[in-house]
Amino acid sequence: MSKASDRAYEQIRARILSGDLKPGSQLKEEELAESCGVSRTPVRDAMTRLQNEMFLYRSESQRSFVSEWSGDDVEEVFTLRTMLESHAASRAAERASDAMIEALRANNAEIGKAIRGPTPDVDAFLRLNRAYHAMVLEAAASDRLAMMLNRLVLQPIVHRTALRYDRAQLERSLSEHEEIVAAIARRDPQWAGAVMTSHIRRAYHVYVDRTAIEPVKAERA
């Protein structure tokens, strides 16, 4: 893919993640090409890539729209993340090198600096949080798991969850990160997987509590 396509992809994706391009809004190639400073062909390539990653969807009339998320969609993404990331944490506890564990600790220390200033640096938290989960996944040493999970963590819903965190939620997230590292350092896969499970499920409920969507309720037998 060309550099122009990559640039268009990054710019459009960033606008979707920031909320500048709102869910359900129609995207037009000509307007995006002008705003990205490229021709329509790179924009078309970028939009195809974003559609494959579920940032966009194409209607029957072949018009493109920013993906909208129902309560069922959100719950499914978090359920799949819970399953896959808890498995990744469990594998990491059995496979992480000492250097990887120290890198995770260093990342957590940087998160602490980012969130404990007079005003939490949410952009830095987002960047460091992505790096943390990527390192856990790397320590899990499974290409198949990485392929499946990377499709999920790129979703806008994951990015927007952290934007809803207040200072207490940021601190809680960091505390859970630290406990996961402690479990990995102890080589305890059950502990690491259990804490990652609660970490992702708590994030789901934070998202539900701070948006207009209704949580998915289990049917009673």
Q: pLDDT tens digits, residue range 132-174?
A: 999 999 999 999 999 888 877 666 676 677 777 889 999 999 9
Boundary-marking domain end, from 43, 66, 89: 66
The answer to whether residue 121 sits within a structural domain is yes
Are 186 and 56 in contact, with CB atoms under 8 Å apart?
no
pLDDT digits (tens, 9 = 90+) for 33-88: 999 999 999 999 999 999 888 889 899 898 999 988 788 888 988 999 999 999 99
Measured between alpha carbons, how far is 198 from 196 in angstroms, rounded to an integer? 5
Does 184 have pLDDT greater than 50?
Answer: yes
Judgement on whether residues 150 and 182 belong to the same structural domain of the protein: yes
Does 211 have pLDDT greater than 80?
Answer: no
Q: What CATH number is attached to the domain comprising 27?
A: 1.10.10.10
pTM attached to this predicted model: 0.79
Does 29 have pLDDT greater than 90?
Answer: yes
Are 168 and 160 in contact, with CB atoms under 8 Å apart?
no
Give just the sign of the alpha carbon dihedral 169, 85, 110, 187: positive
Are 180 and 192 in contact, with CB atoms under 8 Å apart?
yes
Give 31's contacts (C-beta < 8 A, 6+ positions apart).
none
Rounded (10°) angle between helices 71-95 and 156-163 = 90
Judgement on whether residues 20 and 79 belong to the same structural domain of the protein: no
